[in-house]
Amino acid sequence: MCLNENSISESNLFFSKALTKAEAKQYSPLTLAFLGDAVYSLLVREMLLKTANRPTNTLHKESIKLVNANCQAEMIKKVLSELTEEEEAIFKRGRNAHSGHVPKNQSDADYRYATGLETLYGYLYLIGDFKRIMYIFNISTGEEYLEKQSEKK
């Protein structure tokens, strides 16, 4: 069960009017990543919730498996070839940004790739491109994640 583009619509998000691409690009990549982290986390939680009605502790443990630098780095690598030139440039801005933060249990490379993915999600959210967010999310998780969960049972 992939999330569909109707899962995220103007009627169920808390946001103001979408920014223009030029306005969104004025934000630093780490600021975009700050927002993108929340967008990605919400998508993961929604996906997990819709797969089965489970205890919150189980949902939390499953979300931790997906909301971490290693997993996010794998996800962006799956979709890099699908990105437009503009999206790739946004991703690279985030990947190449220097946060001054040293990841505790993640490689620096994975952390940078994850930051790039979060930057892209933040940018797409600000410009109101929810269909593109869903497309990227579904390619990077979607059915593949759910098939892995079925195999474990």
Provide the annotated active-site residues.
Answer: 37
Residues contacting residue 8 through CB under 8 Å, at least 6 positions apart: 43, 130, 133, 134
Helix, strand, coil distribution of the chain in percent, nearest 5: 70, 0, 30
Task: Let me know: does 75 contact 117? Beta carbons within 8 Å.
Answer: yes
